A and B are shown apart, each in its own frame.
Chain A
Amino acid sequence: MVEQIGTEIPPISLTSRFSRLLSGNLLLLLGLLLITAVVSFTVLGYLFVDLELARLNAAPLAQPPSFEHWFGTDAVGRSILALLVIGTPKTLLIGLLAGVCGITIGTCLGFFAGYVRGWADTFIRIISDVLFVIPILFLLVFIIEYFPVGAVWIMGIVIGLLSWMGTARTVRAQVLTLRERAFINMARASGAGTWRIISLELMPNLTSYLAASFVQAVSGGILFSIGLEVLGLGPANSQTLGWSIWWANDYGAVLRGFWWWWGSPVVMIVIIFLGLFLTSLGLDRVANPRLRGTS
């Protein structure tokens, strides 16, 4: 054992590291605040809102917001508030699953392509090009037909399986530039194995970048799913936010002036997207210090 000489550096606690990350990063702070607000809305909703009101004809038809029904009711007699409470976590779940799957696959393939190169690189490039040029959004419909009605998590995973291409591409590029740096050569010369170099030398350099692209992947997944649902193509009746908009659109809520019906889910979606977007911009700033100078 080698004795440590001099004063020991106290380990930085996780909370203080976190607060250091947030200080001076207004975008990240705002983004996380918005997401926290959305999550607490659903948690409080599940605790205090009568979710039976999300059934057909459980409430009066097409009432504007009132004291009794804060966000009004729709033309088939459901309380919009109850729909939002049920729909928001489902939509978030789709995004989360899509983000986790997409980033995991993209990172692994990107590392593999960038580090091994040669045939692996070409092979991954071809697969990602193919998935990139097919309008996957639409073919998703046929894949989802195999699965039980209302299976929200399937949607998330399938979207993730089909949207790793961007991550793989950028991770590959990053690995290509990093692998020739002195510290990697140093590690290699000291006898570190491939796995060790990837996990201990390359990965830490990419963490903040990956965090930013994870957040982007989550919002991309949500955008995908909402797009499909608004078209009426997603897993039928899974009660997500996208489906509430589809219902509203199908019943002509826009033309009939039921602004609370289509407006409430739209506002909720916009808040989610804004939160995710600000968070990813904030993380980007952590990953890319040159952006920090302004704003």
Chain B
Amino acid sequence: MKRFVELRLGTDANRVMSVIYLLKRVGLFFLVVWLGVTINFFLPRLAPGDPIQEYLGQLAQAGMFVGDPSAGFVEEYRAKFGLDKPLWQQYVNYWIDVSQLNFGLSVVDYPVEVTRVIRVALPWTLGLLSIATMIGFFIGTLLGALMVAVPGPWKRLLDWSIPIVMIVHSIPYFLLGIMLIAMFAVTWAWFPVGSGYTLGESPEFSLHGLFTLAKHAFLPALSLVAVAAGGWAIVMRSMMVIVQGEDYVQMSRAMGLKSWRVFYSYQVRNALLPQITFLALSLGFVVSGSALVEVVFSYPGIGSTLIDAITVKDLPLLQLILLVVIIVVTLFLVLLDVIYPLLDPRIRHETE
């Protein structure tokens, strides 16, 4: 490892270059986060429709008594959430609040802090999505690699899987989710229709609890895994085809290396590079990508919370979720830029 680092940062000039690059990248990180948060701040506020009115409308729709809207209590609510001030002042206040890690109270779940709302929802999403993403990546990549490299009768079998993989991959995952519910939850009732756990109970840490969790997560996970694995397999397969024609693969074969060695060390490891990039990106999108699946399966995660926050314009909640999403995704982008040259020495950062 040490030799590797020395190789990378050999001369002083190189070292200076890397430091400048890193500083630039960090600066860009903050710029992107700031711009993203600013857009997220202004877009919902400039759109027609008033969050308080919308919330009251929803209450009224649910059959609750909301009083006379003209009775000045709308104004009171608005003042409570700071929505009565001019836009620029709200913006300044927002950044002051963020710098103090004060994210405010949810409008819908008043008076629950939005950080609490998110803390409850986040584990569901992280658990379901990150596990499903990893499984999908592993299965798909393996399948794609084997499609190209496996010899003999097994190849025929894998060749037959290609059209199936393509068809499954072209189904949007939330529509696949609806199909899975119709088949396995309604017609055959092997799995629960929705939600993350038995209704009215909170998860307990026991064998039975884990089993219940897994049973509820299985269908949503399956819909994510099936579609994603197809995508990984198709990309991996074309990368393998390209790598297969490279001189170093021919060379390693001519040298008489064992076939699994050629397969793993020369083909897979080189074909894997772009896959790693996309894996990092899709892990970054775990939070925002989960919305549709969570809504279809009424899973209690951050995605369905986000959709709720949008439909009723719960600004504090919406802003915190988007802040988290933006920071996480930007972080993954930066990490990728920094780590990728270590994985693939052919790519060096040019100093411009």
Using CB atoms and an 8 Å cutoff, list the residues of chain A in contact with chain B. 117-118, 126, 129-130, 132-135, 137-139, 141-143, 145-146, 223, 226-227, 230-233, 245, 249, 254-255, 257, 259, 262-263, 266, 269-270, 273-274, 276-278, 281, 284, 288, 290-291, 293-295
Contact = CB atoms under 8 A, between A and B. Distances in A.
A143 B175 contact: no
Nearest to B171: A270
Residue of A146, A288, A295 ringed by the most chain B CB atoms within 10 A: A295
Contact of A277 (B49, B170, B193, B292): B170
Given A227-B172, A273-B171, A134 B48 contact: no
B186 A257 contact: yes
Contacts of B179: 266
Q: Give the interface SS of chain A, mostly helix, strand, loop or mixed.
A: helix
Interface string B292-317: 10011000000000110011000000
A135 B182 contact: no
B329 interface: yes
A270 B39 CA distance: 34
Given A118-B352, A230-B292, A245-B175, 12 more contacts: A126-B32, A134-B39, A135-B288, A137-B291, A138-B310, A139-B43, A142-B47, A227-B174, A266-B175, A270-B171, A274-B166, A293-B245
Contacts of B291: 137-138, 231
Contacts of B234: 281
30 contacts: A129-B28, A129-B32, A132-B329, A133-B36, A133-B329, A133-B330, A138-B306, A139-B43, A139-B44, A142-B46, A143-B47, A145-B47, A227-B174, A230-B174, A230-B292, A233-B311, A249-B296, A255-B186, A257-B187, A259-B182, A266-B178, A270-B167, A274-B170, A277-B169, A277-B170, A288-B238, A290-B242, A291-B238, A294-B148, A295-B162
A126 B238 contact: no
A174 B44 CA distance: 37
Nearest to A226: B172
B333 A129 contact: yes
Given A230-B292, A269-B172, A294-B148, A126 B35 contact: yes
A269 B39 contact: no
Interface of B: 28, 31-33, 35-36, 39-40, 43-44, 46-49, 148, 159, 162, 166-167, 169-172, 174-175, 178-179, 181-182, 186-187, 193, 234, 238, 241-242, 245, 288, 291-292, 295-296, 306-307, 310-311, 322, 325-326, 329-330, 333, 352
A274 B166 CA distance: 8
B322 A145 contact: no
Given A138-B310, A142-B44, A278-B166, A231 B178 contact: no
A231 B288 CA distance: 14
Contacts, number: 130
A262 B169 CA distance: 19
A139 B40 contact: yes
Contacts of A227: 172, 174, 292
A254 B178 contact: yes
Nearest to A255: B186
B341 to A, nearest CB: 16
Contact of A134 (B40, B159, B162): B40
A254 B292 contact: no
A135 B307 CA distance: 12
B170 A231 contact: no
Contacts of B36: 130, 133-134
Contact of A146 (B32, B48, B186, B193): B48
Given A142-B47, A290-B245, A137 B288 contact: yes
List of 8 A-B pairs having minimum Cβ-Cβ separation, nearest first = A142-B47, A135-B288, A273-B170, A133-B329, A274-B170, A277-B170, A130-B35, A145-B47
